[in-house]
Amino acid sequence: MHQTHHLELTVADAPLVLDRVVSLFRARRCAIRELRFEAADRHRPGRVYVTVEADARRARLATHHLATMPGVLAVASIGTRAERAEVHRAPVVDAVFGAPAPA
């Protein structure tokens, strides 16, 4: 049985991230009903709000694949009453590239 799923993605200013998101939903046979993109700027990361229609299994698999996608920083499922449940957040690295690791 198909259900409507609302997702909010926090995305980096990476090339093709929006194309990857749309391609993933198409490959998983999740029908995109609504898509809104807010580009990143120097003050905040970008956002993608997407509403898809799919059965629970396909939506769950697509969400987990989104969480590992390059350029996707976080994925949140938005409930019917504007509730947000965090699904994934990329780990934060507290190091500078090329700097020695703390002992």
Could you tell me the residue ranges of all domains in the chain?
Answer: 3-89
Q: Are 18 and 31 in contact (CB under 8 A)?
A: no
Q: Are 7 and 76 in contact (CB under 8 A)?
A: yes
Global pTM? 0.72
Q: Using alpha carbons, list the distances in angstroms from residue 75 to 16, 78, 100.
A: 17, 10, 32
Residue 101: the pLDDT is 52
Query: Residues 38-47: what's their mean pLDDT?
Result: 91
Q: Which fold has domain 3-89?
A: Alpha-Beta Plaits (3.30.70)
Q: Judge whether residue 45 has pLDDT over 60.
A: yes
Q: Per-residue pLDDT tens for 46-92? A: 999 999 999 989 988 999 999 999 999 999 988 754 444 445 555 44
Query: Residues 28-40: what's their mean pLDDT?
Result: 93
